[in-house]
């Protein structure tokens, strides 16, 4: 079975925030909640880089591990979903998540946070009817054979979504074209010189660095 993954190629992201808008629009999420965000590092400096982040649908998801009510669960295809009926708003998923994906509509006294919301990979969530599903979790594009709207909308194809193997293949081709192991992130010759000096292998084997083989 395919394992679904997001991958944001920071070299291509132009910080247009279309993914954020597309997500908001596809899923009609509650006011104040933004499932996807674009983070820009070193804004305005020569080293500026942007990356789009939402739930990364981790293989070993910390949110699932710490949730006291088993609100969060992983489908066979790797998509991490949540059951709004089980959520008690304790906020543990928010403490644990590496990517700041889980969000709550409120942060009131006595831990009144309301029901958690997070990216569903446009795969909806548990509900009796499609209407209820849309109202609670937003679109279920996966059921319709479509990919998450954020990735589909991405103009520079920085944000990739789909079967991990295919995403990795596309990204690997880009990395190879960029010409070195660090091509995933950069084409910085200074860095390359440093690596050469440090005795790293910059030969063809390095060029064909297989991103999918990494753990």
Kindly list the residues in this chain that would bind other proteins in the complex (CB under 8 A).
Answer: 10, 15, 17, 20, 32, 34, 37-49, 51, 53, 62, 65-70, 83, 85-86, 88-92, 94-100, 107-113, 182, 185-191
Q: Which residues pair with 82 in a beta bridge?
A: 72
Query: Which SS3 state, helix, strand or coil, does residue 140 take?
Result: strand
Minimum distance of other proteins from residue 61's CB (angstroms): 10
Q: Which residues contact 84 (CB under 8 A, 6 or more apart)?
A: 71, 115, 116, 125, 136, 137
Nearer to other proteins, 115 or 172 (CB): 115
Nearer to other proteins, 163 or 202 (CB): 202
Minimum distance of other proteins from residue 38's CB (angstroms): 4
Minimum distance of other proteins from residue 2's CB (angstroms): 26
Minimum distance of other proteins from residue 144's CB (angstroms): 26
Minimum distance of other proteins from residue 188's CB (angstroms): 5
Q: Is the four-CA dihedral 68, 70, 72, 73 of positive or negative sign?
A: positive
Return the H-helix or E-strand segment holding 133.
helix 130-137
Nearer to other proteins, 75 or 163 (CB): 75
Q: Which two tokens stand for residue 6?
A: 């997001």
- Quote the CA–CA distance of 55 and 102 in Å, as a whole number: 8
- Quote the CA–CA distance of 187 and 59 in Å, as a whole number: 29
Nearer to other proteins, 69 or 135 (CB): 69
Nearer to other proteins, 92 or 121 (CB): 92
């Amino acid at each position: 079975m395919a394992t679904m993954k997001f991958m944001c190629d920071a070299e291509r992201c132009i910080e247009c925030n279309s993914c954020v808008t597309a997500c908001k629009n596809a899923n009609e999420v509650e006011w104040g909640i933004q499932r996807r965000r674009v983070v820009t590092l070193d804004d305005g400096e020569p080293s500026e880089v942007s990356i789009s982040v939402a739930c990364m649908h981790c293989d070993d998801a910390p949110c699932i591990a710490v949730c006291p009510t088993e609100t969060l669960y992983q489908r066979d295809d790797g998509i991490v979903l949540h059951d709004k009926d089980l959520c008690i708003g304790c906020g543990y998923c928010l403490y644990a998540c590496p990517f700041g994906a889980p969000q709550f509509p409120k942060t009131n006294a006595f831990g009144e946070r309301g029901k958690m919301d997070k990216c569903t990979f446009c795969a909806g969530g548990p509900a009796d009817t499609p209407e209820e599903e849309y109202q609670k979790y937003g679109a279920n594009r996966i059921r319709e054979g479509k990919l998450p709207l954020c990735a589909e909308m991405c103009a520079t194809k920085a944000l990739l979504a789909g079967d991990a193997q295919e995403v990795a293949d596309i990204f690997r081709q880009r990395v190879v074209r960029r010409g070195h192991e660090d091509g995933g992130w950069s084409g910085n010759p200074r860095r390359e010189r440093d690596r050469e000096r440090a005795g790293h292998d910059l030969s063809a084997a390095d060029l064909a660095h297989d991103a999918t083989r990494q753990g």
